[in-house]
Structure 1
Amino acid sequence: MMQTDSQSLEPTMSHSPQTTILVIGGAEDKVHGREILQTFFNRSGGRDARIAIIPSASREPAAIGNRYRDIFEDMGAKAVQILDIRERYQGEDPMWQNYLEGCTGVFMTGGDQLRLCSLLADTPLMEKILLQVQRGEIVLAGTSAGAAVMGHHMIAGGGSGESPNRSLVDMTTGLGILPQVIVDQHFQNRNRMARLISAIACHTDRLGIGIDEDTCAMFEGADTIEVMGKGTVTVIDPGEVLYTNEPNVGAIDPLSVFNLRVHVLTHGDRYNMQTRTVDFPEQRLSA
């Protein structure tokens, strides 16, 4: 039997209370209200925003970078620069690091999370971004693949629609921006609940965060997640798990996980990672 330390999920970040990280499930609205992108823009300084776009996860980085640049310029950003990094050595270029000195927001686009990590992990550019995030100097956002890379443990791929089992999820190392979480994106849209549970069964010291399309989990400071957008954010909390058979079964055998806690959050809901509790909006309590 496995007994989990109830304190094992406490965040390991030393982020400033001003830190804001937007983790977006993909397919965010780019045309109409653009709520999530507008929030990133506003948090980055609004018309004083100096935004860096990193489209490295995409197979068409120029096209996707230009699309986001047009959006933020249309909103009125003071400056928008595409960091079109296609080789690891470019992450050592002082030009990009110098641009980050005056930057207020960094946006990582969707695509292939393995490609994004292979290009950015352990580069001077990524180390600088991490430092600025920890100091609360920039607002960081990632959508789809840009969301998947946030944790130390990253879901690289896998299946859907099955019972939880180890073969359902492929794990590797992410960028470690939010090291205490494992993120899965396009979550309910692609039926990935079993995949995320499978990942958490293997890493019971982490929180699972499943984010739907056009939905954002906004991490503020070291402890709060606020939900915005049209879908849900699912929190898989193994802090009180009493037992899992994960160490003792084959890769394709179904997993048992006892006393797993699941929260499904919608727009306006807030989750506290320190206390592992949900704060309800006042308007819902009075409804």
Structure 2
Amino acid sequence: MQTRKLYLLGGNTSQEEANIHFAKAAGGKNARIALLIVYREGWEAFLPRYTSHWISQGVQQNNISVIVPNENNELDTAKAVDIVSNASGIFIGGGHSETYYSLYTKQPFNKLLHKKYAAGTPLAGNSAGALLMPETVMLSPHDTDNQQAWSGPGLGILQNQLISVHYSQWQDEPNLISGLHHHNIPFGYGIDEDACLYLENEKPAAVFGSEQVKRIEKGTL
């Protein structure tokens, strides 16, 4: 049985330790990585922030495939499905969380990401990408266009827990606590920008980075 590997980065997509671990798990020099991002002007210039540590581990540049919508947030779905289906590692990036949610929690990505992850393909998300992983996605007021907290159904890779990113930087503990009570969810993780929570088979296995991951339990509040 394959070990399921999940990386939740809190905001800094260039974290060295987490990205090296992910690249090795994806196959190192034999890795084929799918990077799912959203459109922003000049997005190509940001790619080295994702890819530099992967390449340092021998991942070939031409084996890193970027899935990005056009300026109207339209994807070539057939091409994207082919890339993800053949990937040995999948990384969902950071940026405008509401756009990430609208693109990558719906089908065919929801079912496909579940299938790949269950088969042992390492799955990673930074900031917005990390927020998509639970059964319930919770967006901080710092993270929405109208500055109001928002929640909705997520990918469901993680069950019965919430994720908060930029945790210390956004002083997001009140939002996480409110979400736990509102949704009657037992616990959640607050992940600082320079921290990564690494899970194996949905259980915490390590924390990478120079900052912290904090577990908050509803019953102890």
TM over 0.5: yes
Matched, 1:139 2:122: yes
**Match for residue 120 of structure 1?**
104
Say if 1:45 and 1:56 are closer, same or farther in 2 by CA, change over 3 A. Answer: same
Per-residue CA deviations over 1:26-47 (Å, capped at 9, x if unaligned) read 11445xxx11111111111111
Per-residue CA deviations over 1:240-260 (Å, capped at 9, x if unaligned) read x3xxxxxxxxxxxxxxxxx33
Q: Match of 1:237, as an amino acid?
A: E
CA contact (8 A) 1:58 1:110 kept: no
Choose which of 223, 230, 234 in structure 1 pairs with 2:203: 223
Q: Match of 2:200, as an amino acid?
A: E
Deviation (angstroms), 1:206: 4.0
Identity of aligned residues (%): 25
TM-score between both structures, scaled by the size of structure 2: 0.85
**Match for residue 184 of structure 2?**
204
Matched, 1:106 2:86: no
Deviation (angstroms), 1:214: 1.3
Segments of structure 2 that go 5 or more residues without pairing to the other structure are none
User: What is the alpha-carbon root mean square deviation over aligned residues?
Assistant: 2.6
**Match for residue 10 of structure 2?**
25
**Match for residue 55 of structure 2?**
73
If each structure's helix is expressed as a fraction of its own residues, which one has the higher value? 2
Identify which of structures 1 and 2 has the higher relative contact order when contacts are C-alpha pairs closer than 8 Å and 6+ apart.
Answer: 2
**Number of matched residues?**
215
Choose which of 159, 174, 180 in structure 2 pairs with 1:194: 174
More displaced stretch, 140-149 vs 55-64: 55-64
Choose which of 146, 149, 152 in structure 1 pairs with 2:132: 149
Say if 1:113 and 1:59 are closer, same or farther in 2 by CA, change over 3 A. Answer: farther
Say if 1:75 and 1:58 are closer, same or farther in 2 by CA, change over 3 A. Answer: farther
Q: Match of 1:217, as an amino acid?
A: L
**Match for residue 215 of structure 2?**
235
Secondary structure of the structure 2 residue equivalent to 1:90: coil
Matches within 5 A, 1:80-91: 80-86=64-70, 90=75
Say if 1:185 and 1:57 are closer, same or farther in 2 by CA, change over 3 A. Answer: farther
Segments of structure 1 that go 5 or more residues without pairing to the other structure are 1-15, 160-166, 242-258, 261-287
